[in-house]
Amino acid sequence: MLCETMMPIGWAVGNRVGFASAIRQPLRVTKAKGKPPMTQAYYSAVLDRPLDEVWSLIRDFNNYPAYIDGVSESEIEDDKRGDEVGAIRRFCHLGNWIRQRLVDHSDRQHTLTYAGLDALPYPQDDGSQTPAPTRYQGTMHLRPIIEGDRTLIEWSVALDTEPADAARWQALFASWIPDWTDSLARTLARSS
C-alpha cells in the first residue's frame, strides 16, 4: 500500500479493546537547564504476554507495521539494522510519511527511544487556532511482571512545543499512546 492518501494524523484512532489495563497520569512538565519546560505524555499498561515475547515484537525499530494499526509500511534508511542506534525509520501512518531516529536501544533494559526528525504538524481539528508543530522524543520501556508472566509497558513522549500549545499537544498524545498500546496488545493476542 502506498502512502498516497492525505488523511490527517490522528484521523482514526480506533476503538479501545480490553487487552491492557491502564494507569492514567496527569500532565507532566519538566524543565531542562536553560530550556523552556517540556511537556510529557505518559501511559502505562499491563500486557498479558511474557516480556520476551513483547520485546521480540517491538525491539526491531522497523517492525512498526506489525503492531501499530494504521502503519502501512516502514523502511530503515541507509541499510542500518532495526536495532542500531542512529537508524532512521521512514513509515507511513494513516497516509502521512514520518521519519524517526533510533536514539537509544537496550536489549538488557528492554527499552528503546526514538526522536522525530521533523516537527510534527497538529492534525486538522475543530477549526480553532491550530497549535504550532512540535518536536518530540518517545520512549518505550518494558518491565517484567512476575505474577502471571506478564509485561508492564511504559510509553512516554516528551514534547518540545510552544508553551501556549503544550496542553493540546499533551492531550493529543495522551489519547494516541493508549491506542498504540491497545494495537500492540491486539497483535500479541492474535499471535497466541
What would the pLDDT profile of 107-150 be if each residue is shown by its tens digit? 999 999 999 999 998 887 666 788 899 999 999 999 999 999 99
pLDDT value at residue 20: 36
Predicted local confidence at residue 37, as pLDDT: 59
| C-alpha cell belonging to residue 109 | 533494559
Secondary structure class of 136 (helix, strand, coil): strand
Would you state the pLDDT for residue 130? 87
Which cell is 135 given?
A: 518536536
Q: How many residues does the chain have?
A: 192
- In this structure, how many other beta carbons lie within 10 angstroms of the beta carbon of residue 47? 22
3-class state of residue 174 by DSSP: helix
**Residue 159: CA count within 13 A, CB half-sphere:** 28
pTM beyond cutoff 0.85: no
Where the chain has pLDDT below 50, the residues are 1, 5-32
Angle of helix 51-58 relative to helix 166-191, nearest 10 degrees, comes to 110
**pLDDT value for 128:** 73
